[in-house]
Amino acid sequence: MDLRSNVDTLIDRFKDGDKMALAKAMTLVENGASELVDRIKSEKNMKSESEPWIIGITGAPGVGKSTLIDKLIDPFSTDNKRVFVFAVDPTSKLSGGAILGDRVRMQRYATNDNVFIRSVATRGSNGGVSYHLIDMIDLALAFGYDIVIVETVGAGQIDLDIFDISDTTVLVLMPEQGDGIQTYKAGMTEMADIFVINKADKRGADKMVEQLRVMMSTRAVRKWQSPILKVISTENVGIDILVKELKRHRRYLLSSKKIKDRERLRKLMKVKGNMLAKFEASLSKTLEGLSNEELDSLNRHEMYIRILKNFLDGKEGEDECQ
Amino acid sequence: MKRKLRVLIAKPGLDGHDRGAKVVAHALKDAGIEVIYTGLRQTPLQIVNTAIQEDVDVIGLSILSGAHMRLFPEIMKLLKEKKTAGILVFAGGVIPEDDIPKLNEIGIQHVFTPGTPTDEVVSFLKNKFPDRV
Ligand SMILES: Nc1nc2c(ncn2[C@@H]2O[C@H](COP(=O)(O)OP(=O)(O)O)[C@@H](O)[C@H]2O)c(=O)[nH]1
Ligand SMILES: [Mg+2]
């Protein structure tokens, strides 16, 4: 029997803590079945004593994000926390396929009951994360994971980005990285809660710290001053301090009530992501369905009306999950 | 919108390199498939747990070390125990012709022998999942 086509059984098994049911629910939701999240949340008693914590780890390919997360899982899971990792990688624009290889660096946890790793392709979205990622995060939390870590290549436009999704975002850099921090959009360094200079075993780490400090000094004084940490992920150096700083940021969010702002932003982004996915699918269908004659004869306005009408009728681009 | 095909490319055993597995992974990606890659030296339990977490439709096992007759049955047994009904398993790497019938018998749908062009792997999957690739 395919659990994916038997939603009642799927939900029952999800409530019983069956990981296979969680994985299959993730697939459904990733393909647009957002209602499933609402159903599960309404039926399952959510653990209310602990606030969720969503940590974003972002940075260019190769800076060591996956290696860093591998080292981060340990201190969190020995804290008796259950950790869920989403490893997001880009979908090839050309083929629509993807190679999702982040978990190579974390495979020692494949047999750890308190750790669940799921690879996610960005698919249609251009914001560096998948449209349905927030729904998937909600599933992980509903299942009982305490900490969700999201790895993403933060190359997306600031459209639907990791900063909107995470409570705490870590920007990972490394020495001798291209043109250094200048390559990052101002927004990106503006928004990072913690900077990690990874591969601090390589030359140029101190210079990079210095560059960042200079940059930070021009930014308005805030309650939270984003720390700059040197880390060597491969040798587990600096991880303890990073964990301390992560927890300090978390306390700051909780005490300043900023955590509620982040939650609100996340809810907004979820609606936005769902809508964008549905609209994009509908739009493509409508465009494909236009004849050459229509393309020449319809004016802009008529075209828009056609697109919106098809979208509202919901006939086109309906998400199909089987 | 069709559900994207998800394929796990896994390397069981003590092989020292994974060039072949990576070539296949790239070919599948170019065919529009989402490929999850495990890296080297995976135990049967790691592979099966990964397949469950990633909810893959297919597992491709790549092996060079000659330990397939020991490791593949273990993997198939675990898949059965964990009731992962419906995952299609294929294999490739250095596997003698003589072993293939035995492997088919334990549920490995297809074994690609060394030198198989990657196109063949792609068309094999296209055949099995006509509306998904
Ligand atoms: N020298 C050095 N190499 C590292 C360090 N952290 C990660 N690496 C290496 O950098 C490469 C890319 O790491 P990965 O975690 O896959 O990067 P990601 O693409 O950002 O996830 C791998 O070969 C790692 O072993 C570090 O602290 N020092
Ligand atoms: Mg990575």
Both A136 and A33 in one domain: the answer is: no
Both A9 and A61 in one domain: the answer is: no
The ranges assigned to domains in chain B are 6-128
- Contact residues, chain A, for B46 at CB < 8 Å: 107, 110-111
Both A95 and A29 in one domain: the answer is: no
- Residue A74: domain span: 47-256
Mean pLDDT of A295-317: 86
Both A175 and A234 in one domain: the answer is: yes
Structure tokens at B131: 């509306």
Residues near A246 by beta carbon (within 8 Å), at least 6 away in sequence: A55, A168, A170, A194
Both A24 and A58 in one domain: the answer is: no
Please give the full DSSP string across A206-253, using - where no structure is assigned.
Answer: HHHHHHHHHHHHTSPP-SS---EEE-BGGGTBSHHHHHHHHHHHHHHH
Of B33, B37, B49, nearest to A101 by CB-CB distance is B37
Confidence (pLDDT) at A191: 81
* A93 domain-assigned: yes
Provide the number of structural domains found in chain A.
3
The string of pLDDT tens digits covering residues A208-242 is 899 888 888 877 778 899 999 999 999 999 999 99
State yes or no: pLDDT of B46 exceeds 80.
yes
Both A229 and A127 in one domain: the answer is: yes
Q: Is A83 helix (H, G, I), strand (E, B) or coil?
A: strand
* Structure-model confidence comparison of residues B65 and A148, the more confident one: A148
The string of pLDDT tens digits covering residues A166-215 is 999 999 999 977 555 655 555 666 788 999 999 999 999 999 899 888 88
Both A208 and A248 in one domain: the answer is: yes
* A204 domain-assigned: yes
Ligand nearest A154 Cα, by number? 1
DSSP element (H, E) containing A294: helix A292-297
CATH 3.40.50.280 fits B6-128, yes or no: yes
Please choose, from the candidates A212, A243, A250, the residue with its C-alpha nearest in 3D space to the C-alpha of residue A228.
A212
* A319 domain-assigned: no
State yes or no: pLDDT of A252 exceeds 80.
yes
Minimal-distance CA residue of chain B relative to A28 = B3
Mean pLDDT of A100-110: 97
Please give the full DSSP string across B33-67, using - where no structure is assigned.
Answer: -EEEE--SSB-HHHHHHHHHHHT-SEEEEEE-SS-
C-alpha to C-alpha distance for B121 and B73, rounded to whole angstroms: 22
User: Does the CB atom of residue A66 touch ligand 1 within 6 A?
Assistant: yes
Confidence (pLDDT) at A184: 59
**Span from the CA of A87 to the centroid of ligand 2 (angstroms):** 7
Both A106 and A175 in one domain: the answer is: yes
Residues near B12 by beta carbon (within 8 Å), at least 6 away in sequence: B42, B43, B44, B47, B61, B63, B67, B71, B72, B75
User: Does the CB atom of residue A63 touch ligand 1 within 6 A?
Assistant: yes
For a mutational test of ligand 1's pocket, the pick from A67, A103, A202, i.e. the residue with the most ligand atoms closer than 8 A to its C-beta, is: A67
